[in-house]
Amino acid sequence: QSALTQPASVSGSPGQSIAISCTGTSSDVGGYNHVSWYQQLPGKAPKLIIYDVDNRPSGVSDRFSGSKSGNTASLTISRLQAEDETDYYCNSYTSANTRVFGTGTRVTVL
Amino acid sequence: EVQLVQSGAVVKKPGESLKISCKGSGYSFINYWIAWVRQMPGKGLEWMGIFYPGDSKVRYSPSFQGQVTISADKSISTAYLQWSSLKASDTAMYFCARSQVGDYYSGMNVWGQGTTVTVSS
């Protein structure tokens, strides 16, 4: 099972919006509305920030939003802040009854 | 407070066996799925598999099927990840994580602190 494809890095200036893509196939991202996104700070466990494509868990900033079109899901971070500089991973349910992570994206705030 | 507490860091030799643990508290252990996730040094997250303590259902990622065993002892609210013969390439941080609801479609919202496994001769 191949990892979902994410850009290795995305950057933006404070206050701007950035988007991270997550490309899979019709057997994972495209076939189900069960895409999650995680934020991982250095040396820490991942934190769920989006589930089921576009839902935010309680307590997660509304600057984070998710969407999906075909086999590609996206995470948008609005009003970019210095604290958003870290790693982000998408994760999708698959037709094999398991889940798969994306390759990960490092966000840099310029 | 809902939390998952993992066992401590371990150093093993190639060929040795190992079982690491993940103890849940603050919630009904049998009603949520527990996943295991690998992160090799400097690399991304990899989904290994997921276990439902309520009926012992397990779903392995194809990459990890046959390489590890996921189990749980619901009497002590503890999930396990075990190897019968470690390799140097098993050196990694391993996280356990709990499903947000009673299925594993909607993401994992509670995570353990991670267990570092080092395999070296």
List phi, psi (to 5°) of B89. -70, -5
Q: Which residues pair with A18 in a beta bridge?
A: A77
Chain A residues near residue B108 by CB distance under 8 angstroms: 36, 48
Q: Which residues of B89-103 are buried (b: 16+ CB within 10 A; e: fewer)?
A: ebbbbbbbbbbbeee
Average of per-residue pLDDT across A97-107: 97
B44/A102 Cβ within 8 A: yes
What's the average model confidence in pLDDT over A52-63? 97
pLDDT at residue A78, rounded to an integer: 98
Q: For residue B103, what pLDDT is reported?
A: 85
CA-based nearest distance A81→chain B, Å: 23
Each of the 121 residues of chain B gets a pLDDT tens digit; together they read 999 999 999 999 999 999 999 999 999 999 999 999 999 999 999 999 999 999 999 999 999 999 999 999 999 999 999 999 999 999 999 999 999 988 888 899 999 999 999 999 9
The answer to whether residue A1 scores a pLDDT higher than 80 is no
| Region for B53 from its dihedrals, namely left if φ exceeds 0, alpha if ψ lies in -120 to 50, beta otherwise | alpha
- Residue type for B8, please? G
pLDDT tens-place string over residues A64-98: 999 999 999 999 999 999 999 999 999 999 999 99
Residues of B in contact with A51 (CB under 8 A): 100, 106-107, 109
Q: Which two tokens stand for residue B81?
A: 């990840």
Give me the mean pLDDT over the A52-67 stretch.
97
Token representation of residue A107: 């966000």
The answer for A97, left when phi > 0, alpha when psi is -120 to 50, beta otherwise, is: left
Task: Provide the pLDDT confidence category of residue A34 given band limits of 50, 70 and 90.
Answer: very high
**Alpha-carbon gap, residue B121 to B110, rounded angstroms:** 34
Give A24-55 as a 3 state SS string.
CCCCCHHHCCCEEEEEECCCCCCEEEEECCCE
A28, closest residue in chain B (CA to CA): B105
The DSSP line for chain A is: -PPBB--SEEEE-TT--EEEEEE--TTTGGG-S-EEEEEE-TTS--EEEEBTTTBPPTTS-TTEEEEEETTEEEEEE-S--GGG-SEEEEEEE-TTSSEEEB--EEEEE-
